Each structure stands twice: as C-alpha cells, then as structure tokens.
Amino acid sequence: MNTVLDDENPDFVIYLGDVITANNILIANASLYWDQAISPTKSRGIPWASVFGNHDDALFEWPMEWFSAPGIPRLICPEANSTHSEACSFRGTHRLELMKHEIDHNALSFSKNGPKELWPSVSNYVLQVSSSDGPKSPVVYLYFLDSGGGSYPEVISTAQADWFRHKSDQINPDLRVPELIFWHIPSRAYKKVAPRFGIHRPCVGLINKEGVAAQKAELGIMKLLTKRPSVKAIFVGHNHGLDWCCPNEKLWLCFARHTGYGGYGDWARGARILEITQKPFSVKSWIRMEDNVVHSRVVLSP
C-alpha cells in the first residue's frame, strides 16, 4: 500500500472491504487491526472512505480448544447487570463498532454508518466530489453500499436498493451528474459478463484466475443501476484472482486488484486507480502494481 500510494499520490483512497480478517477475532479488539490497515493512507494525510467486506466482522465461534484445559478465558463484563446479560458473553467486533471507531478516530475518514433503517448493513452512503469552481457544483457522486457477508448474508437488500433510488432521485433528479458505485461482493451480473479463457475485448484486465464469487441473491439494485444512464461503473473486490473490467450494456463492471497482504492467493499485489477529470468529464482507470508497473488502462466514461 505504501509503494502504490507513493507512486500514484492519489487525492482520495477507497477501501473496498475485507480491510481486516476478523473471522477469528473473537473479542472486540478488531479496531486495532483496522487502524493498522488504514495507516499508510492516514500517515500521508490522504482522505479516504471504506465499505465492509465479508471478512471484516463475523459471528462468534467457540474455539474447540477452550473446552479442554486450560479452559475458557476469563470474560471481562462491562457491569453486572442482569437485564444486559448478553453484554457479558464472547462475541466478535460488530460492523457498527468498527465503523464508529474509524469515524470517531480519524478526521480524514469520509466513511459513514449510513441510515439506521438499513441495519444490519452499515456502510451505505454517498459522497459528492465537488468542482474546483465550488462545493455546490458536483462533478461526480460516489455511492458506497454494504454487500453483506460475515455477520449477515451476502446480499444488497431491497431496502438498500430503495435507499439508492430515493437518494439518487433526490440529489441527481435529472441524471446530469455521473455516478460511480462501490461495494465489496460482485453482483450476479458479474458472472454474466465474466470473460472465459483469458481476458479479451471489450474486457480489460490482467488476471482471470477464478470464478466470480457472487452475492447470494439479486434483490433489485442491479436493475436500478443498469437502467440509470448516469451510473458509469461499479467497482468490487472479493475475488483476489480477478482484476478485469467488462461492460454490461452501458455500465462497466470492474474488479479492483488485491492490495493488502491479508487474505487468500499469492497473485502480485496492486491497486485499481481512477482518474476523474471535470471538463470534459472522463473516468479513466488503470492498475498500478507494487513493482511500479501499470497495466489494464481503460476509459470508463464518457
């Protein structure tokens, strides 16, 4: 992450989920690892935003070894209060706690919890990228959605789709401002456009080493995005062995590139870069590798 940030010197960083692997972080201390993961960006004074993946939080699982000697570790209870007995049991760190920690401790973080009514999905929000002419003049909207996984099923709910519809109608009713979408787990549409046997036009990318591991259901968000001409591209992570962009009608479906050293696979690390220009509007993308090499240049808009 340090190398790529030094090479590209970006204005903004997006963490696309699976920032940490908290499946086995049983006690609520995962925030420490989260802080480490964002430190390369933070230490350079670069602002950022994050969404959740399927590894960032998870339900508690009892380790079998706790049932043999030396037994179950002592549990520190917040207070002896019978009406909150569940506060005194082992559990993983919740999405909401991770997000609250990130926001509370980082002035540079643009992450948001999103509307409470979308719980248990947490990282649903929109950021406006403003023109140099002034903050009232939006150049592009960046939408972030929580695609689930970990502590709840891997889906983007109907409620999230409804939220996107209302929000986008409200802030961009005439579809004048281009929109880019970010979440972690590819939707089922990615399976449809996935290249077979290498990567060939119109797809652009370098690795195509595994099947698309898509969300468990398609509950409406893709239908909305596909028929909304202002939406230019969706960016997901999740599959470490995939880094392609493929068009699905007028919408680009892109994978990022596995950047950190956590998680499965030993494909070389890199990061997807987006370059947004205002006049004329364009979105260009490429992948910057840890060893400086740049590949997979693609124009996503206009």
Measured CA to CA, the distance from residue 293 to residue 46 in angstroms comes to 22
273 binds its own copies (CB under 8 A): no
Smallest distance from its own copies to CB 93, Å: 11
Residue pair 38/15 in contact by the 8 Å Cβ criterion = yes
27 binds its own copies (CB under 8 A): no
Closer CB to its own copies, 64 or 107, in the complex: 64
Region of 32-40, 79-87, 186-194, 287-295 interacting with its own copies (CB under 8 A): 79-87
Other Cβ atoms within 10 Å of 248 Cβ, number: 17
Structure tokens at 302: 């206009």
Number of residues that bind its own copies (CB under 8 A): 33
Region of 48-56, 81-89, 228-236, 282-290 interacting with its own copies (CB under 8 A): 81-89
What are residue 1's DSSP bridge partners? none
Residue pair 204/245 in contact by the 8 Å Cβ criterion = yes
DSSP state, 20? Answer: S
85 binds its own copies (CB under 8 A): yes
Closer CB to its own copies, 75 or 176, in the complex: 75
Smallest distance from its own copies to CB 82, Å: 9
Place of tokens 């870069």: 273
Among 23, 217, 226, 284, binds its own copies (CB under 8 A): 217
Closer CB to its own copies, 147 or 285, in the complex: 147
Among 39, 137, 158, 292, binds its own copies (CB under 8 A): 158
Region of 43-51, 71-79, 138-146, 169-177 interacting with its own copies (CB under 8 A): 71-79
Alpha-carbon dihedral of residues 115, 120, 123, 128, nearest 10 degrees? -30
Beta strand ranges found along the chain (DSSP E): 13-15, 48-50, 125-131, 134-144, 179-182, 231-236, 245-248, 251-255, 270-277, 282-289, 294-301
**Chain centre distance of CA 24:** 20
84 binds its own copies (CB under 8 A): yes
Positions in 184-213 near its own copies (CB under 8 A) = none
What are residue 247's DSSP bridge partners? 252
Closer CB to its own copies, 43 or 158, in the complex: 158
Closer CB to its own copies, 120 or 247, in the complex: 120
Compute CA distances 153 → 55, 57, 249, whole Å.
Answer: 12, 12, 28
Other Cβ atoms within 10 Å of 171 Cβ, number: 13
Region of 14-22, 69-77, 165-173, 265-273 interacting with its own copies (CB under 8 A): 69-77
Through-space distance between the first and last CA atoms of the chain, rounded to whole angstroms: 29
- By rule CB under 8 A, what string of x and - marks binding of each residue 103-142 to its own copies? ----------------xx----------------------
Region of 36-44, 134-142, 185-193, 216-224 interacting with its own copies (CB under 8 A): 216-224
| DSSP H helix total and E strand total for the chain | 6, 11
Measured CA to CA, the distance from residue 223 to residue 273 in angstroms comes to 26
* Contacts to its own copies by CB under 8 A: 59-60, 62, 64, 66-69, 71-72, 78, 83-87, 89, 91, 94, 96-97, 119-120, 148, 152-153, 155, 157-159, 216-217, 219
